[in-house]
Structure 1
Amino acid sequence: MKEKILKSYKAWDLPTRIFHWVNFTTVLLLIFMGLMMLFKKDMGITSLEAKITLKTIHVLIGYVFVLNLAVRIGWGFVGGRYSRWMNIFPGKGYIGELSAYLGSIKAGEPKQYVGHNPLGRLAVAVIMLSLSVMAVTGLVRAGTDIYYPPFGSTFAAQIAAEGVDPATIKPYDKTGTDAEKAKALSAFKGPFGTVHIYTSYFLMFLILLHIFVVVRTEIKEGGGLVSAMITGRKALSKEPEDLNG
Structure 2
Amino acid sequence: MKSDSKTSINVWDPLVRVFHWSLALFFIVSYLSGDEESLLHVWSGYAIVTLLAIRIVWGIIGSKYARFSNFVYGPAEIRGYAKGMLKGDAPRYIGHNPLGGLMIVVLLLSLMATTTTGMLYYGAEEGKGPLAGVVAEQSIIMPSLVSSAHADDDGHEAKEHGDERYEYLEDLHEFFANFTLFLVMIHLAGVLVESAFHKESLVRAMWTGRKRVGPQV
The question of a shared fold, defined as TM-score above 0.5 by the shorter chain, is answered with yes
C-alpha deviations, 1:81-112, integer Å up to 9, x for none?
1111222333xxx2332243234334433301
Match of 2:12 in 1: 12
- Percent identical across equivalent pairs? 31
Specify whether residues 158 and 178 from structure 1 end up closer, same or farther in structure 2 by C-alpha distance, changes over 3 A only. Answer: farther
Match of 1:33 in 2: 33
Is the contact between residue 110 and residue 221 of structure 1 (CA under 8 Å) also seen in structure 2?
A: no
Cα distance in 1, alignment partners of residues 137 and 156 from structure 2: 9
- Secondary structure of 1:234 counterpart: strand
Match of 2:143 in 1: none
Match of 1:140 in 2: 120
Match of 2:53 in 1: 70
Specify whether residues 155 and 100 from structure 1 end up closer, same or farther in structure 2 by C-alpha distance, changes over 3 A only. Answer: closer
Is the contact between residue 97 and residue 118 of structure 1 (CA under 8 Å) also seen in structure 2?
A: yes
Cα distance in 2, alignment partners of residues 124 and 142 from structure 1: 27
| 1:122, distance to aligned residue in structure 2 (A) | 1.0
Is the contact between residue 222 and residue 236 of structure 1 (CA under 8 Å) also seen in structure 2?
A: no
Cα distance in 2, alignment partners of residues 27 and 174 from structure 1: 40
Cα distance in 1, alignment partners of residues 93 and 191 from structure 2: 14
Tell me the TM-score normalized by structure 1.
Answer: 0.71
Question: Which aligned segments of 4 or more residues in structure 1 are displaced greater than 6 angstroms?
Answer: 156-159
Cα distance in 1, alignment partners of residues 31 and 200 from structure 2: 30
Tell me the TM-score normalized by structure 2.
Answer: 0.79
Specify whether residues 101 and 153 from structure 1 end up closer, same or farther in structure 2 by C-alpha distance, changes over 3 A only. Answer: closer
CA RMSD of aligned residues (A): 2.9
1:126 to 97, 106, 124: 106
Q: What does 1:193-208 correspond to in 2, within 5 Å?
A: 193-208=170-185
Is the contact between residue 120 and residue 135 of structure 2 (CA under 8 Å) also seen in structure 1?
A: no
Cα distance in 2, alignment partners of residues 201 and 144 from structure 1: 21
Equivalenced residues, count:
199
C-alpha deviations, 1:101-136, integer Å up to 9, x for none?
234334433301111101101111110110110121
Cα distance in 2, alignment partners of residues 152 and 197 from structure 1: 19
| 1:198, distance to aligned residue in structure 2 (A) | 0.7
Does the alignment pair 1:81 with 2:60? no
| 1:155, distance to aligned residue in structure 2 (A) | 5.6
- Secondary structure of 1:116 counterpart: coil
Q: Which runs of 5+ in 2 are unaligned?
A: 1-5, 140-151
Cα distance in 1, alignment partners of residues 153 and 40 from structure 2: 22
Q: What does 1:72-221 correspond to in 2, within 5 Å?
A: 72-90=55-73, 94-152=74-132, 175-176=154-155, 183=162, 186-187=164-165, 189-221=166-198
Give 1:20's aligned amino acid. Answer: H
Cα distance in 2, alignment partners of residues 133 and 155 from structure 1: 16
Relative to total residues, which structure has the larger helix share, 1 or 2? 2
Does the alignment pair 1:55 with 2:38? yes
Cα distance in 1, alignment partners of residues 155 and 83 from structure 2: 65
Cα distance in 2, alignment partners of residues 135 and 24 from structure 1: 15
Range moving further from structure 2, 6-15 or 220-229: 6-15
- Secondary structure of 2:211 counterpart: strand
| 1:234, distance to aligned residue in structure 2 (A) | 1.1
Match of 1:226 in 2: 203
